[in-house]
Structure 1
Amino acid sequence: MPAPLVTDYDALPDEARIVHDYLEASMKPDPERAATYMAEGVVITFTGGRVFHHPSGPTGFNAMRYAWVKKDMRQFDVAQGAEGTVVYSTGYLYGEWPDGTPFEGNRYVDRFVVENGKIVKMDVWNDSAERILTARGIEA
């Protein structure tokens, strides 16, 4: 894996550091620690439109989809949107499929809304489904 583009953590805006720290905890995986970065009532819309209200939901789903998975966090973009402060984290997933086959370069984008120092909304997109179909000989 290439060295992460995000090299100066201290230079990130506060909201991006909250998102970064949440993602680090979720990759351990430590859903209880990850939950400390989220507001009560958080809405997590995961790949395929699956809705969760705690980081244990995506952790459980990922345990079925991957032997293990991590994020190569490349960039954080922070903007003011209609919902408040929006943070986008983009980069690549890498890890192993359940059969032990390694993968890398799987694009992801996560969109967060951060209010009062907590994540209130998270949306997740990545190329995993297309890669799974391609591995099975089905062009996505």
Structure 2
Amino acid sequence: MSDDLPPDAALVRDFLEASMAPDPDRAATFMAPDVEITFTGGRKFSHPSGTTGVNARRYKWVKKRLGRFDVAPGDGETVVYSVGTLYGEWPDGEPFEGNRYVDRYVVRDGKIVTMDVWNDSAERILVRKGIDA
């Protein structure tokens, strides 16, 4: 990953790297104490350990292949989008890759204050179960 990212995008990248370790306590150091996290399916959390718990039940392991970071500076805050793909193994050990994700972060005063996460895992789980809606 490029070292010439804007500071708020670098903060998000560092958060994602800690999250993928997974080290939710280290990841939390990049977030404001009152962070609002909305994970896939609309699940609400106030600490990265919530998302780590969902991932532990959904996957044997999962990582993000970081793609691009889109940065939109605003008045007193910056919105950073991280777009890429997920790869890893389902609980039964079957590998997967190419699972699209987009995360939206609001960064204020050097901390993530809002995190929203979307990915295609639910669609892929339906296909694995033979349900192709």
Match of 1:37 in 2: 30
Structure 2 portions without partners, runs of 5+: none
- Candidates 66, 73, 86, aligned match of 1:73: 66
Amino acid in structure 2 at the alignment position of 1:29: P
Aligned-pair Cα RMSD in Å: 1.2
What TM-score do the two structures reach when normalised by structure 1?
A: 0.92
Identity %: 69
The answer on whether the counterparts of 1:27 and 1:71 sit within 8 Å (CA) in structure 2 is yes
Tell me the matched-pair count: 133
Amino acid in structure 1 at the alignment position of 2:60: A
Assess, with a 3 A threshold, how the Cα gap between structure 1 residues 129 and 82 changes in structure 2: closer, same or farther.
farther
Match of 1:93 in 2: 86
Give 1:82 deviation, angstroms: 7.3
Find the residue that maps to 1:15 and give its secondary structure. helix
Amino acid in structure 1 at the alignment position of 2:2: D
Match of 1:103 in 2: 96
Give the Cα separation in 2 of the matches to 1:49 and 1:83.
Answer: 26
The answer on whether the counterparts of 2:76 and 2:108 sit within 8 Å (CA) in structure 1 is no
Assess, with a 3 A threshold, how the Cα gap between structure 1 residues 101 and 82 changes in structure 2: closer, same or farther.
farther
Give the Cα separation in 2 of the matches to 1:121 and 1:87.
Answer: 10
Assess, with a 3 A threshold, how the Cα gap between structure 1 residues 82 and 52 changes in structure 2: closer, same or farther.
farther
